[in-house]
Amino acid sequence: MNRLLYTTRDGRLRVHRSLQAAARSGWDVAVADRLIPIPAGATLMHLPGRVAMGRTAAGATVPVEDAVAVAAVLPPGYLRTWLPAYQELPQAPVLPLFGYAAVASVDGEPRVAALRTDRWSAWDPQAASRQQIALAIAAARRALPDSRLRHHLETCATDYRCLTAQNVFLRAGEGAIPVSPACNAACLGCISEQWGDVDSPQTRLGFAPTAAEIAELAAWHLSAAAANFVSFGQGCEGEPLTRGAVLVEATRRIRAAAPAATIHINTNGSRPDVLRRLVGAGLNSIRISVFSLDDARFRAYYRPVGYGLEQVAECAQVMRDAGGQVTINLLTFPGISDDPAEIDALIGFIHRFGVHQVQLRSLNVDPHWLLARIPVPTQGIGMRALTAALRARCPGLRLGNFTRSWPVSASEANVTGGGRGELNLIESPIGWASS
C-alpha cells in the first residue's frame, strides 16, 4: 500500500504513517495505482503554496496541515499517468512549466505515477558528459565562427540541456535547427514565450536566420558519419511554417547537400500551403502537435491565429500523399487525453492519415492553472487505458517519445517502450526522511 509523500516547510521529505497518497485525473481525486520506481534523471520537486492531500482508510480526501505537496518531473521516455493532488492556497504562485507527476512512498521507497514509453539509448540524457559537450561546442566554434544559430544553440545545449541541440554539436542523430522567432499561436503551455503570471523556462530565438544560415548549420551537422537527421521547429522557437520561402530555399539546399537525410519539421500544422512547398523542396517527415482534437479544447489551448483543425488535418494529408513520415506529438494531460471521446477522435485521425507514430508527452504546465482555462471532460479512463487502446486499435502504430529517421531503420523500429525494466532510483534533491 502506498503512503503520502510530502515535505515539511523546511524542505525535509517525509512519509505519512497512515494516509495514502492522493492523485488527480483532471479534477477527480483517487489513489494512484501502478507506481514505478523513480527513474534516473527524474527530479522530485516541492510545490510551493500547495498543501499535500492524502486519502484515509474510509476513502476521504484530506489536506495535511503544514505538509507541502511533492511531485516528480520525469526524464524523456516516460509518461505521467496521474497528476499530483493538493490544496492550493489563495496566494500560491503559478508553477513553472514542468510535467508534474504524482508520487508516493511504497515500502519506504519513493515511487512515481508513470510508465515507460521509449527505450532508445541514443536519447539518454546522461549519455554525454558536460565535458564531452563542451569539447564539441569548442569544435563547432572553430568550424562555424560566425554562425548565429550555433551561438544560440550553445545556450540550449548547456543551460537547458536540450538533447537535439547537444546532438548538433556532437554531430550525431537528430540535430535541432531553429528557424522562426514568430508564431501564429499563443499556446498555454508554450515554453519559449509566455505572458502575465507564467514564466517561460527557455529564451526564444531572437532573430530570423537566413536560408544560407539554416543550410550551413544543417550541412555541417549532416556531413558527419553519425548524423542523418535535421529538424525544424524546436522548443526555443515559434512556428517554422511561418518562415515560408526562406525555409523552402533552406530545405532545397539541405536536400541537395544530403540526398539521404531525414529533413523533419515539428509544427502546429497551421500552413498546409507552405508544407506542400517544403515537401517539394525535400522535406520528408512531419510531427504535428496535438493537445486535443475537440475544437473547443483545441482553440482554448492553442489560441490559434488564422488556422484550425481543418488545416492541421490537411497538413497530415499533404505528408501522407508524399509518402513521408507522419507523427503526432500528443501533449497529454490525465483527465483530458484519456477522455473516451478524445481517444476515439485521435484513433480516427491516426487511421485517416496513416500516422506512423504517436509520441506521448506529459504537458508541461501548472495543472490547476490549465484546468481553469480548458473545457474538461466528465471523466478520463486512465492514461494506461489510453495507451492500451492505441495499441489494440491501431496495429502497426509506434508509440514512443522520440522521432525516428525516415525511412525507419530496422534498429530504430525494434526500439519500443511500455515495460518496467531499466528503472533506477535517484537520490532526491530535497532529502529523504520518514515520520
Contact (Cβ atoms closer than 8 angstroms) between residue 386 and residue 393: no
Alpha-carbon Rg for the chain, nearest whole angstrom, is 22
pLDDT at 61: 97
pLDDT of residue 225: 86
C-alpha angle 103-107-109 in degrees, rounded to nearest 5? 50
Q: How far apart are CA 73 and CA 59, in angstroms?
A: 27
| C-alpha dihedral sign at 99, 177, 257, 219 | negative
* CA 58, chain centre distance (Å): 37
Q: Which residues on adjacent β-strands are paired with residue 78? A: 116
**Is 428 within 8 Å of 44 (Cβ atoms)?**
yes
Q: What distance lies between CA 170 and its chain's CA centroid?
A: 22
As a residue count, the chain comes to 435
Residues 6 or more apart in contact with residue 74 via CB below 8 angstroms: 39, 42, 80, 99, 101, 112, 114, 362
User: Rounded to the nearest 5°, which phi and psi values hold at 276?
Assistant: -60, -40
User: CA 38, CA 266: separation in Å to the nearest integer?
Assistant: 29
With cell 525555409, the residue in question is 247
> In terms of Cα–Cα distance, which of 303, 294, 300 is closest to 343?
294
How far is CA 96 from its chain centroid? 15
Sheet containing strand 109-112, strands side by side: 2-3, 103-106, 109-112, 36-37
What is the pLDDT tens value at each position of the chain, 435 positions in all? Answer: 899 999 999 999 999 999 999 999 999 999 989 999 999 989 999 999 999 999 999 999 999 999 999 999 999 899 999 999 999 999 999 999 999 999 999 999 999 999 999 987 666 666 678 899 999 999 999 999 999 999 999 999 999 888 999 999 999 999 999 999 999 999 998 866 655 666 666 778 899 999 999 999 999 999 998 889 999 998 888 999 999 999 999 999 999 999 999 999 999 999 999 999 999 999 999 999 999 999 999 999 999 999 999 999 999 999 999 999 999 999 999 999 999 999 999 999 999 999 999 999 999 999 999 999 999 887 899 999 999 999 999 999 999 999 999 988 656 665 554 332 222 222 234 433 333
Distance, CA of 28 to CA of 386 (rounded, Å): 17
Q: Find residue 264's DSSP bridge partners.
A: 231, 285
Spatial separation of the C-alpha atoms in residues 54 and 103, rounded to whole Å:
11
Q: What is the DSSP letter of 5?
A: E
Does an H or E element contain 367, and which?
helix 367-371
Q: Which amino acid is at 361?
A: R
Distances (CA, A) of 384 to 25, 113, 338, 380, 424: 12, 11, 9, 11, 21
Neighbours of 160 (CB within 10 A): 16
Grid coordinates 544543417 are at which residue? 218
Cβ proximity of 29 and 54 under 8 Å = no
Q: Which three cell numbers stand for residue 59?
A: 476513502
**What domains appear along the chain, each with residue ranges and CATH number?**
2-116 (no CATH), 121-413 (3.20.20.70)
In sequence order, what DSSP letters do the residues of 87-152 get, joined into one string? EEPTTPPPPPS--EE-EEEETTEEEESEEE----GGG-TTSS-HHHHHHHHHHHHHH-TT-HHHHH
Alpha-carbon distance of 396 to 206, in angstroms, equals: 40
Q: Residue 215 corresponds to which cell in the numbers above?
A: 543550410
